[in-house]
């Protein structure tokens, strides 16, 4: 288990290094000056030079990326240009809301997707299974930010049932503000998890111990709950 976790950790670090390096390359490949974009068309050459020095844009590419990874090892993500605050401070300030949103999104997705996947596996090729398959592929294909925009337009702007922005005050009020973003993020996971559960269940339902349980007259849902779903 520890070897598996170590491999996953090394893989995650490798992906982060490659992604950051590619991002640096893309920024340098895009025509134009980042300082001019940030400061606007009225920026003077002195202001641009000062921002270049502040952001390290006057250094070679290797020095820039080495500086970034060096700071990353010490927990230094740099400073935000607009607020002049450490990026790490801004990230950790918003981290509780992010974790809360992730947990709620995955929780409601699992609660819906697991029974849906089990039912699709038991009633294979039924109408509900086919409809679920189409909807699952559709929800996986639609990006969460597109789903979020339409959810805002329908439930917050048009119907005015839910708030559009904010975090709320207190537990229950906060849950109200979490509904729309959690829906936008979790809807894709419903499709993904339900398809994953269905595929795994179909494989397990063909095992010998499942056939043995059926031969003893055990109900299908009890077989699923006790012998098929846990693995």
3-state secondary structure 36-76: HHHHCCCCCHHHHHHHHHHHCCCCCHHHHHHHHHHHHHCCC
Average pLDDT, the chain: 85
Asked whether the predicted pLDDT for residue 112 surpasses 90, the reply is: yes
pLDDT band at 20 (very low <50, low <70, confident <90, very high): confident
Predicted confidence at residue 219, as pLDDT, reads 82
Instruction: Say whether pLDDT at 211 is over 80.
Output: yes
Q: Taking the mean position of all CA atoms in its chain, how far away is CA 84?
A: 28
**49-70 pLDDT per residue, tens:** 888 888 887 888 888 888 888 8
Report which of 179, 159, 157 is spatially closest to residue 167, judged by C-alpha positions. 179
Report the distance separating Cα 103 and Cα 143, nearest Å.
19
Question: Is residue 106 very low, low, confident or very high in pLDDT (cuts 50, 70, 90)?
Answer: very high
Q: How far apart are CA 49 and CA 192, in angstroms?
A: 48
For 170-194, the pLDDT digits (tens) are 767 778 888 899 999 999 899 899 9
Query: Once rounded to an integer, what is the mean pLDDT over residues 158-164?
Result: 85
């Amino acid at each position: 288990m520890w070897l598996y976790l170590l491999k996953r950790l090394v893989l995650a670090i490798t992906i982060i290094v490659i992604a950051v390096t590619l991002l640096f390359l893309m920024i340098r490949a895009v025509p134009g000056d980042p300082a001019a974009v940030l400061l606007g068309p009225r920026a003077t050459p002195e202001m641009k030079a000062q921002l270049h020095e502040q952001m390290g844009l006057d250094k070679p590419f290797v020095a820039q990326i080495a500086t970034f990874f060096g700071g990353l090892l010490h927990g230094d993500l740099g400073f935000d240009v607009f607020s002049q605050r450490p990026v790490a401070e801004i990230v950790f300030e918003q981290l509780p809301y992010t974790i809360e949103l992730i947990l709620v999104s995955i929780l409601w997705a699992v609660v819906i997707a697991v029974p849906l996947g089990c039912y699709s596996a038991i009633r294979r090729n039924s109408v509900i299974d086919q409809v679920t398959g189409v909807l699952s592929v559709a929800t996986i294909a639609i990006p969460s930010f597109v789903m979020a925009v339409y959810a805002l337009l329908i439930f917050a702007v048009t119907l005015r049932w839910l708030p559009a922005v904010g975090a709320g005050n207190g537990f229950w009020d906060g849950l109200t503000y979490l509904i729309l973003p959690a829906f936008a993020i979790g809807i894709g996971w419903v499709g993904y998890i339900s398809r994953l559960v269905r595929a795994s269940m179909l494989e397990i339902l063909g095992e010998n111990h499942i056939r043995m349980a059926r031969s003893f007259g055990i109900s299908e849902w009890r077989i699923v709950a006790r012998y098929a779903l846990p693995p």
